[in-house]
Amino acid sequence: MKFYLIAAVMVIFLSSCLKQSIPDAMLNPGGSSSTTATLSYKINGNAVNISVDDADNQNIDRLYCSKDAGYYLLQGVSSSGEFVFPFYTDSLTVGNYKYTSYYGDMYFINYNGTNEYVHAASDSMSFNVTSSNNGHISGNFSGQLTPLITASNVNNIYGAPGSVLITNGSFQNVPVIY
């Protein structure tokens, strides 16, 4: 009987060595895996890439989608500037979201110090959310924008209409913050 008791205690003791510690398991219940979020696109042929390891636990928010009253806002920050896209919906689902100049001027990208807008009649930004799983979204996008040359209280001065092309846009595993 004593032998079986010692064997049972040893099995429990040795098997506990193979598991995560209790604090580690509570902080990361799925194990040691983390989600990498990415956003990439070309702006007039110049590549912009944002990648965030362990996107669900960002110390400084660099790539995420947040819910606000009546819309979601996808945001990314890179060394060359920032990127934003508002999804005007109460419930972000798989599908196409498009913003055209019909709705008015809208800021989307700051690239190397120049703000890019949907402004001219031919301008638009189109996003396809291809998957929405476990609080993360993925998809693709493209657009045509106009640069803002000078901001003013009276009249903004814009550059050549539709001169900024956004191509090969994609985003993967971007966390949605509710």
80-119 pLDDT, tens digit per residue, is 999 999 999 999 999 999 999 999 999 999 999 999 999 9
Place of tokens 């696109």: 41
Q: How far apart are CA 89 and CA 152, in angstroms?
A: 30
Give pLDDT, residue 20: 42
Q: How far apart are CA 87 and CA 130, in angstroms?
A: 14
Assess contact for 52 and 46: CB atoms under 8 A: no
Give pLDDT, residue 178: 87
Whether the model pTM is above 0.95: no
Closest CA to 159 of 172, 169, 146: 146
The structure tokens listed for 165 are 């092309």
19-65 pLDDT, tens digit per residue, is 444 444 444 454 557 899 999 999 999 999 999 999 999 988 899 99
Q: For 7, phi and psi rounded to 5 degrees? A: -65, -40
Who has greater pLDDT, 155 or 32?
Answer: 155
Mean pLDDT confidence for 5-16: 50
Q: Where are the alpha helices (DSSP H) in 66-169?
A: none
Min mean pLDDT across 25-34, 64-73, 160-169 is at 25-34
Mean pLDDT confidence for 15-19: 45
